[in-house]
Amino acid sequence: MAVLNVNPTRMELRRLKARLKTAVRGHKLLKDKSDEMIRRFLIYIKENRSLRLEVEKELSLALKNFMLARAVSSDAVIEEAIAYPSVSAELETSTANVMSVNVPTFKASESTSKDLYPYSFASVTSELDFSISTLSSLLTKMLRLAEIEKTCNMLADEIEKNKRRVNALEYVMIPQLEDTIKFITMKLDENERSSTIRLMKVKSMIENRDGQETT
Amino acid sequence: MLNRIAVVGDKDSVLAFKAIGLDVFNVSSETEAKDTIKNLAKDYKVIFITDKLAQTLEHMLVKYKSRPYPVIVPIPSAEGSNGFGMQGIKRDIEKAIGSDILFKEED
């Protein structure tokens, strides 16, 4: 039994009761928050996983094609071909609020150029075309993956923190308050009883004395 | 405000991304990668990094995990994926739920 170091007075008792009420309410709210966060987390993590599988597969393929293209043509040709890309990838970033966790969101701005390939088709092989077209179509998926993965990271962090708070309330704070309240109540009752007994004792003593004086 | 996207990794893996308009930084050593990422984290919001490199720099990337930006995402390198990205997902699940109850049977 863990009792806080407080004076067993009525005022303290009142204060502790108020604290206990707050703690119980807070515990319930935090627990609900934890439940909802885990529910959302599960939705995100499932999407995260399938998206990652997809991106990794397609990206590996695209990079392999790129390697092939590099093997066929000389390094200088490839580097010259892509030295000045005709498109530029830019994005607007902001934060969204998921269960009071600030997570990133992106909005990719459309590239204005109509032509994806910055080189002439005569100089390089078709593997390069293929890998670049896959890569550029993959970019939106990669950005979505970035967004979701970060969301999952941060949610997992927050869930862990929240769990600690819930446990601290449930297993430390609330029992401590309850024990202390019990301790103070018992102490006060004890005081009351002892003062009653004292009064009775004094009364009987007075009665005894008065009886002796009259005889 | 518009932001560019950065890709960090060995030359074979990242050169392709240049063609689609990302900013490419090729690094050859671990210390070089460390410095590059430290600098990039100030300006770029999204950084893709090859998973091989991410694995060696794991302890460093951890500190970027708890804030919204920059987002640092491992991607497979030219040699294919080494499973580091998947490990990250698994770790998240374990952190949040306590054990990997979701995808255990599929792996």
DSSP letter (8 states) at residue A46:
H
Residues B41 and B64: beta-carbon distance below 8 Å: yes
Chain A / chain B CB contacts < 8 angstroms: 147
Residues B7 and A135: beta-carbon distance below 8 Å: no
Which residue in chain A has the smallest CA separation from B48?
A146
| A78 Cβ under 8 Å from any chain B Cβ | yes
Residue A88 has pLDDT above 80, yes or no: no
Highest-scoring range by mean pLDDT, A27-36, A95-104, B44-53 = A27-36
β pairing state of A101-109 and A90-98: antiparallel
B90 or A164, greater pLDDT = A164
Overall pTM surpassing 0.90 (yes/no): no
Burial of A206 (0-12, 13-18, 19+ CB in 10 A): exposed
Query: What's the fold here for domain A10-209?
Result: Helix Hairpins (1.10.287)
Six-digit token string for A57: 């597969």
Residue-wise burial string across B70-81, b where 16 or more C-beta atoms lie within 10 A, e elsewhere:
bbbbbbbbbbeb
| A150 Cβ under 8 Å from any chain B Cβ | yes
The alpha-carbon gap from A168 to the nearest alpha carbon of chain B, in Å, equals 17
Highest-scoring range by mean pLDDT, A32-41, A187-196, B66-75 = A187-196
Q: What average pLDDT does range A166-194 have in this prediction?
A: 93
- Side-chain half-sphere of B81: how many Cα atoms within 13 Å? 18
Share of chain A above pLDDT 90, in %: 33
The alpha-carbon gap from B63 to the nearest alpha carbon of chain A, in Å, equals 12
B101 or A54, greater pLDDT = A54
Domain range list for chain B: 5-79
**Residue A168: per-residue pLDDT:** 93
**Residue A114: per-residue pLDDT:** 59
Residue A12 has pLDDT above 70, yes or no: yes
3-state class of B27 per DSSP? Answer: coil
A112 — pLDDT class (breaks 50, 70, 90): low
CATH of B5-79 among 3.40.50.12780, 1.10.3720.10, 3.90.1640.30, 3.40.50.10580: 3.40.50.10580
B80 or A170, greater pLDDT = A170
Q: What average pLDDT does range A68-88 have in this prediction?
A: 74
Q: Could you say which of A67, A109, A156 has the minimum Cβ distance to residue B96?
A: A156
